[in-house]
Structure 1
Amino acid sequence: MTFLKKRGQHKGENGRVLAIGGCTDYIGAPALAALAALRTGIDLSIVAAPENIAWTINTYSPDLITKKFEGEFFNWDNLKDVIEYAEDFDVIIIGNGLGTEPSTFDFVEEIIERIPQPKVIDADAFKALKDVEIVNAVLTPHEKEFKILTEEKLPTDIKKRASLLKHYADKRKVFLLKGPTDIITDRENIHYNKTGNSGMTVGGTGDILAGITAGLIAQSNDLFNSAVNAAKLNGKIGDYLLKKKGIG
């Protein structure tokens, strides 16, 4: 796994990620995801957000580009424009800070089904996907989000957890279950990630994990190994910061 760009390449050839998200209550979530994706070494990471949210995100970092869409939250009226805009990207992140408006859920369902590129699905998106066919995606739920998505309660035993997770995964739908030990599976393969610490329960770490995952997929087009490496890297960064700064 490397984050060094190759010489002689043009802008965009190292990957382009689009983070679709943001609402009045959760402005920072898609920004964190997009910044994390950018730090993996991709060339472009852009946030697609409702216009009032996007203007605020523009103040966070000069590295962040935003695409502004009408309205206070994503809804059906934005669908055509977002799908057309997403065509130029290698990987789509969706869910971070989207909110829970019913019309946003309708928007999410259509985005997941109609955008063919690899997707990283996180956070609020899980509340919209019970009856949606999901392909070409990494899903990054924690325990409660997994139950929302599947209506299944995860057992406490880690081997039994992995077995249940395998039932829902396949080669084109990889699960990265977040927890004290992350479990990543594409049904055929299972990886347990034990990096990370209790300080990482703070809000925002899941958004960063989604961004790292998307950035690695954009450079490899490998769903399973990108998810494995993202979980490992995210945890190691957390462990490093714990040693340097402590919790808090």
Structure 2
Amino acid sequence: LQPALSRSVLLLISRQMSDASQLLSEAARRIPPLSAGSHKGQAGRLCVVGGCREYTGAPYFAAAAALRVGADLAHVICAEAAAPVIKSYSPELIVHPVLDGESASRELELWLPRFHAVLVGPGLGRGECVAGAEAAIKLAVSLNKPLVIDADGLAVVCSRPHLISGASRVLLTPNIVELRRLRSALCDGDSPDTDEAAESTARRISRSLGGGVALLCKGPVDVAVIDNDDGNAAASSTLTCSVVGSPRRCGGQGDVLAGLALAFANWCYAGPASPASPHPALLAAFAASALTRRCSAAAFKVNRRAMLASDLLAQIGPCSRELFPEADAVSD
């Protein structure tokens, strides 16, 4: 019995590795090729909406991760007090200090149509920036932009779920606590702390929002779920990412994941797809999860307990080449 059991376990592990390899290859095909003929912005003009006076690191980590994986331009729309701090972190970011001002809605209407995809939530807080975040979510949905919602942006969804109800290009990225809050707000219940329950809970949440909203549930194993029952097998499915990460739980890793999900959401919705391809939001979630986990493992190997989220940023280039080698070639 024991040898047979061992063989079955090995076959399961082999099949999971094969599935992951196929998904990573599919994601690599969506990444814009490197070419001397491309122009600035072609690989992504992305926007992070977040950053209040107290929380300035989160939008930086998200936007910097999107740039390092290959997006061309990253804008941060933040509170006025956060802007000088975020600008000091990186000259690569384009920072708009308008999120908590009276002109927030007008500025969002001016800028959001220019972006390929939008992320709402990192460093948002629960105070003066919430009204601006609500406006950003509403506008991104109306423009049919790929939209990732993370961190305090999920609190906005809990209080105003109608903002994304019926939307078709939205990815929520809750951890287990945020998943419980979403279920309590949207499904009248609470969620146990098991990976199996996370999938069923996420499916209920997706269904309650109209079936077109995807969720990436973060945990020991990351689970991406959508429940769009329209007869298309790829539209109603689950992808699980069990790529080995690290045991270190420093702040900022979720923001890196959100920024990578933003970049991949843009590419997966815009890139070529076959009828058998996974749903674009699920593929983006899987690619971002796998890359974040690989970066975390690589950074932990070097830094151990001293590992910080900034160490993950330094690993995005090497780990991207490892996971998506097809996308690293340069065309004429």
Q: Same fold (TM over 0.5)?
A: yes
- State the partner residue of 2:151: 123
Determine whether 1:217 maps to 2:265.
yes
Q: 1:182 is matched with which residue?
A: 222
Matching residue's letter, 1:49: C
Contact persistence 1:16–1:218 (CA under 8 A): no
How many Å apart are 1:59 and its aligned residue? 1.2
Q: CA deviation at 1:75?
A: 5.7
Q: Map of 1:161-176 to 2, 5 A cutoff?
A: 161-169=198-206, 172-176=212-216
> How far apart are 1:68 and its partner, in Å?
2.5
**Corresponding residue for 1:137?**
170
Whole-Å separation in 2 of the counterparts to 1:212 and 1:232: 10
Q: Is the 8 A contact 1:98 1:125 kept in 2?
A: yes
Aligned to 2:123, what secondary structure does the other structure show? coil
Shift of 1:155: 1.9
Does the residue aligned with 1:18 lie in a helix, a strand or coil?
Answer: strand
d(CA) in 2 for partners of 1:89, 1:226? 18
The reply on whether 1:88 has 2:114 as its aligned counterpart is yes
Residue ranges of structure 1 left out of the alignment (5+ in a row):
none
Which whole-Å deviations, capped at 9, do the CAs of 1:43-66 have from their partners, x for residues lacking one?
111111123311111111222221
Q: Check the 8 A contact 1:5/1:41 in 2, yes or no.
A: no
Q: Is contact 1:182–1:231 with CA below 8 Å preserved after alignment?
A: yes
Superposition TM-score, scaled by structure 1 size: 0.90
SS at match of 1:51: coil
What secondary structure sits across from 2:88 in the alignment? coil
**CA–CA distance in 1 between the matches of 2:291 and 2:297?**
10
* 1:134-193 residue CA offsets vs partner (Å, 9 max, x unmatched): 122110111111222231422233223211211222663110011111111112111222
Between the aligned residues of both structures, percent identity stands at 28
SS of equivalent to 2:200: helix
1:238 equivalent in structure 2: 296
Match of 2:275 in 1: none
Whether 1:40 and 2:66 are equivalent positions in the alignment is no
Equivalent residues of 1:76, 1:106 under 8 A apart: no
Larger-gyration structure (1/2): 2
Quick one: which amino acid aligns to residue 212 of structure 1?
Answer: L
**1:206 maps onto 2:246 in alignment:** no
Contact in 2 for aligned 1:113/1:132 (Cα 8 Å): no
Cα distance between partner residues in 2 of 1:75 and 1:125: 18
Alignment of 1:60-99 (within 5 A): 60-69=89-98, 74=100, 77-99=103-125
Which segment is superposed worse, 45-54 or 221-230?
45-54
**Aligned residue identity for 2:197:** K
- Return the offset for 1:76: 6.0
AA partner of residue 163 (structure 1): S
Number of aligned positions between the proteins: 243
The equivalent of 1:18 in structure 2 is: 47
Q: Please state if 1:148 is matched with 2:197.
A: no
Partners of 1:57 and 1:105 lie apart in 2 by 19
- Match of 1:52, SS state, is coil
Question: What is the CA RMSD across the aligned residues, in angstroms?
Answer: 1.9
Residue in structure 2 matching 1:113, options 138, 143, 157: 138
8 A contact 1:20–1:47 mirrored in 2 = yes
- Mapping for residues 2-17 of structure 1, pairs under 5 Å: 2=28, 5-17=34-46
- The answer to whether 1:158 aligns with 2:195 is yes
Q: State the SS of the aligned residue for 2:61.
A: helix
SS of the residue 2:161 aligns to: coil
Return 5+ residue gaps in structure 2 as ranges: 1-26, 228-235, 270-279, 307-332
What amino acid maps onto 1:47 in structure 2?
V
Q: Which has the higher helix share?
A: 2
